[in-house]
Structure 1
Amino acid sequence: MSTPTLERTPAIAVRGLEKSYKDLQVLRGVDFEVEPGSIFALLGSNGAGKTTAIKILSTLLKADGGSAGVNGFDVTAQPADVRESISLTGQFAAVDELLSGRENLILVARLRHQKNPARIADDLLARFSLTEAGGRKVGTYSGGMRRRLDIAMSLIGEPPIVFLDEPTTGLDPQARIEVWEAVKGLARRGTTVLLTTQYLDEAEQLADRIAILHEGRIIANGTLAELKALLPPATVEYVEKQPTLEDVFLAIVGGKEQS
């Protein structure tokens, strides 16, 4: 007699999600799932619908159709439970530049009614390599430091799911690498991360799975290896050239007619 396999409940489950603004269809039946403890990248160009999807999943916007579940809760029927399960970091760091990094963290911990806000602040400063800068005003921080502090603030209360909406927009290459390391650290600790990005290298560096959102639809979804397998075999000349995610993206998007 075989032992039954236990199915793992997705941390995020999206089915047939639709959203329009008057005559503009932004989401046209979006489907995807995110496994617990993984990094899932929603990849697409500007206007593809990435931020709209994040807003629906974080209960900031109502969908016109379809369904979405976050941490086992329905975003429409159980919005309060969803909000307790998540943290959302937008495209721009939401930090108070007049306060120090440590003061920002303590303030948020107090607002979230956490015990021992000072200890929480010190632990997060250490975790994100900001201890030495903790006493300085955030206005003196580099872009990468602000972004890391912003992500640290979003983790107060230990939400199981974190949404990162284009977390490295406007950052220089070194700052982007700093943020990437911070995001990888979240997954290593078991946090589920859904990030949106228009940077192909970012999705390639971070994500366990990548969904390409184009004109409001998911046109590909898989691991990096699975997406690369969608392309024809590499041409063997002197050196076999392996496809990049950019090759995959351009091949798939280029093959989709404008509707």
Structure 2
Amino acid sequence: MNQSADPSLIDTAAVPHRTGPLGESASRLLQHAGPIFAEKGFQGATLREIANAAQTNVASVSYHFGDKLGLYRAVIAQMRSEREKRFPAPVIQTPPAGQSPMIVLRPIVQTILSRMLACDENGWQHRLMMREFQQPTVVFSQIVHEYFRPMFELMKSTLGQLMGPQADEATVHRMVFSLIGQCVYYRIGDPTIPHLLTPSQIDAVMDIDALADHICGVMSAAIESYRHGRFAGDAEPLHDSTNVSVETLPSDSSCG
């Protein structure tokens, strides 16, 4: 793991210097800091450039946010707050006996997809988060802890209950990451999809309600298969149950 993502490196003192409602200059700093951080990264952005764009002075950064890291934290926090207000985490209740796991899973999947796909790929918020993932700062661990972990724990708890007490922790974790992976593809695969599908096909595929139904259906089938002992781990290994040789494969079957 990148050392900068180590929780021990988080400067817990680097928080907004002042509390309470933001003043006009603080709001302008947040408004202009985000796009600059997205374009140049935390290290490349300068306080003077941000202050000039916000039509204020560098001292106002220290007054409102403490330092550049405090301003960066505030930008990330504002992004997270706006996204969570728009797409709050669902409250999960135990489903009635005999009901499909989809009833429980769907609000979770809907929230994940909505948060991911609502972000404009060309917007500065998306570019800033991609920078943070690719070049983590000391804020990365805070993002994971405050933004991603709550949803992860919700998925872990929900899937664990649906799979039953026979599911060990590693199996539940794999199921969680399988769910996340299905959702994430529609974000990270977005540049590829237009080369594979027509515009009308994309509209049909990328409909969030349809995606949520599809992913929930796949996960529900996997859960039911696991609960009835038909999970992959209980099946015969593929290499023992097939006699397919390289020579029998079509010549155009290369993955390259």
TM-score of the two chains, using structure 2 as the length reference: 0.28
Higher Cα Rg: structure 1 or 2?
Answer: 2
Q: Which protein has the bigger strand share? A: 1
Q: Which protein has the bigger helix share? A: 2
TM-score of the two chains, using structure 1 as the length reference: 0.28
